[in-house]
Amino acid sequence: MGKYNYRDKYGRLDESIDNVAFFSALSATAYDQRTRSVYTRTNPAKSHGVIDLKRNSGVTKNVFSGGIHTGSIVTEASANYNYLHMIGSGMDSTIWNKNINAYGEGSVWQNSLYFYDMTVRHISQPLYRTGYIFVGCTIYSDLSGTKHSCKLYAKTSTNGGNSFINVPDAVLSNTNLDLFDHCKVTILSSDVSGYRNNFVAFNDCELKIGGETEYKALNGNTEEELRADFVARCEAQSISVPNVTDMGETMKQGKWIFSKNSCVDGLVKKDSALHNYEKRHLVYFGYSFDRCDAIGITSDKSKPASFSPVYANSSLTIADGSIALASNIDVSQAVAGECATNIIWLGGKYQLNKLDIIHNLPIDQGVLIDSTPSFSSVEVNKDGGIVPYSNGVHRAYIVRSKDGQEEKVKYNGVTYSSAVISRNNIFNGVAGVTSFVPETSNPIVYEVLDKVLHSTVQMRIVNKIPSGAIASGSLQAGYWYFVEPKLVSDASGSVTYNGITYPAYSSFVAEAGKSTFSLTGNVQLRRCWKDLYNESDTDATDKAFWQNEQKPKWFDVLPNDLRCLMSLNNAQQAEMQRDKAGNYIASGHPDFYNSVLAMSGNPGELAFPIKGAFMQWRLKITTQNPI
């Protein structure tokens, strides 16, 4: 496998015509505006420190890797308008911690700074002749500027089509299609009358209406019950609620929708009350057009389509609604927590679009959801182990410590430290210098494999499972079994195994010495695959079945890019394409973007959406990740 590459597609970027440069949190190559064209996918500039992006006029686009980006940006508009685009690798992947030093000269020249697809954790905002636009960003503070398709965790201005999440003091604006999820919202009499023609959605919110002195949730569960309570509370405050007609439907404050349990972190659930309102009125609320199925997190192993403790290792603690590192874990030490879902039935062959993982892991401490390493596990030999610069490509190396103390090495006459705070822990191999000198007792050097800092998860997905319903007999230890309704229209019934009752659409792994089960109602069992599936396994069960099918092999993917390569570059093939080691190639594989981008010089491979009928997800929460 080769090095990881940047994505082939960024929504606001056309590399064939745009003035573009790439930046990485794991690069040691200093940026120089005069040689901007050299900062390519294979030779990104370092993103930390001061980046001078001064440009007299025009449009420049800058792609940032995952990780935390610190320091500052310097830019100015001195002869014309200056449009500067900062493009991230994903809301929860690229973390922006950089200040802005922007200057404008003359009477009209202005900087326009665009931020896309990242988390903006900290940013200074000089406003003199400088405007800000945020699209597809996660924002945690009150920032000035235009915002579209953003997740907002603070009271701030909105231009519509955003999701406010867990905001303790939210207010309404004269905008359309905003979604308030688990917020405390103040609603004035002027809001009810003035914004009656604006589409606004509330999910599990507490409201303070008119002269009310405290925030309270609406009573009821259905859309009708919640709306009726809203109207009653308004009228109790002498606020008249008008009838509003839209799409042939007339209701009190009819363009506002109140719901419960309709969202996950600002994203509307598929077929929820809020989604059903959207379908009736032909609108979309919040930051994304995607509509999601929620994957549960529960202590109940019988719940369908969920994570549970039985399928996790001892480094993780799973309770209702949360997955956390165990209390005895020291995040300064190397730890790999792992958990998997049970089998998720997709209701027939189904195309997947993205996986939205909501977490508050301490990224600053190097704790990430990531199934692929960012640097090699093999220690670089201090004598001759450094590969020099060649063919326009820098190999990067990271300095770490064996004993938890600051360690230093000298390479090419420069001292590098393991201390992250100094941001001097990465160096490039240079021509003619293949060795480094330890300056302290316990440094260790690794080669960087993933300058993009892709955060990956694992999945396995198949198009079909072995035929044949199981109504009686003995179960085989180590195999997954799926509780299938005989009729999709009637999901009553259950399977009892090892003292636990599993409803329709649930699944379990049979244990050694426990082979019996019982059925009730309209269900049957289906054998799916061996939990520790291995093609070379001598176990002959279903071996012939899987020979020409997509196999239940784990592979790595990016949660926001669920695509793969297909065998023979053909969507009609049953299986995904494999690498030389037999691993499936999807977006989390280092060969994926290199193949799609035709980095070898051969015509590029086609990327296909991942599809299937039965799947599992697996998350790896790891420590000591570079940031």
pLDDT digits (tens, 9 = 90+) for 42-62: 889 999 988 988 765 678 899
Residue 514 belongs to a domain = yes
Domain end (from 103, 121, 149): 149
Highest mean pLDDT pick, 260-264, 422-426, 600-604:
260-264
Does 247 share its domain with 191? yes
Residue 253 belongs to a domain = yes
Does 98 share its domain with 59? yes
Domain end (from 260, 281, 302): 281
Confidence (pLDDT) at 81: 75
On the question of pLDDT at 1 being above 60, the answer is no
Domain end (from 519, 539, 559): 539
The tokens 């890019």 sit on which residue? Answer: 561
Highest mean pLDDT pick, 175-184, 330-339, 420-429:
175-184
Q: What is the pLDDT of residues 476-500, one digit of tens each?
A: 999 999 999 999 889 999 999 999 9
Confidence (pLDDT) at 79: 58
CA 148 from chain centre, in angstroms, equals: 18
Does 214 share its domain with 115? no
Does 112 share its domain with 196? no
What is the number of domains present in the chain? 4
Residue 515 belongs to a domain = yes
Does 473 share its domain with 424? no
Per the structure, the complete domain to which residue 489 belongs is given by: 465-539
Q: Is 583 left (phi over 0), alpha (psi -120 to 50) or beta?
A: beta
The beta strand positions in 452-581, using DSSP E, are 457-462, 479-485, 494-497, 500-503, 507-509, 517-520, 523-530, 555-557, 563-564
On the question of pLDDT at 100 being above 90, the answer is no
On the question of pLDDT at 234 being above 50, the answer is yes
Q: What is the pLDDT of residues 197-228, one digit of tens each?
A: 999 999 999 999 999 999 999 999 999 999 99
Does 101 share its domain with 171? no
On the question of pLDDT at 621 being above 50, the answer is yes
Residue 401 belongs to a domain = yes
* Residue in 2, 1, 40, 5 with CA at minimum distance from that of residue 453: 5
Does 27 share its domain with 130? yes
On the question of pLDDT at 151 being above 70, the answer is yes
Does 433 share its domain with 470? no
Query: Cβ distance 39 to 21 under 8 Å?
Result: yes
Does 53 share its domain with 142? yes
| Cα gap 191→494, rounded to integer Å | 50
Each residue of 118-128: b (16+ CB within 10 Å) or e? Answer: bbbbebeeeee
Residue 50 belongs to a domain = yes
Does 200 share its domain with 247? yes
Residue 337 belongs to a domain = no
Residue 198 belongs to a domain = yes
Does 24 share its domain with 145? yes
Confidence (pLDDT) at 83: 85
Does 252 share its domain with 174? yes
Q: Residue 479 maps to which CATH number?
A: 2.60.120
Q: What residues form DSSP beta bridges with 444? A: 400
Confidence (pLDDT) at 478: 95
Residue 330 belongs to a domain = no
For residue 574, give the DSSP letter: S
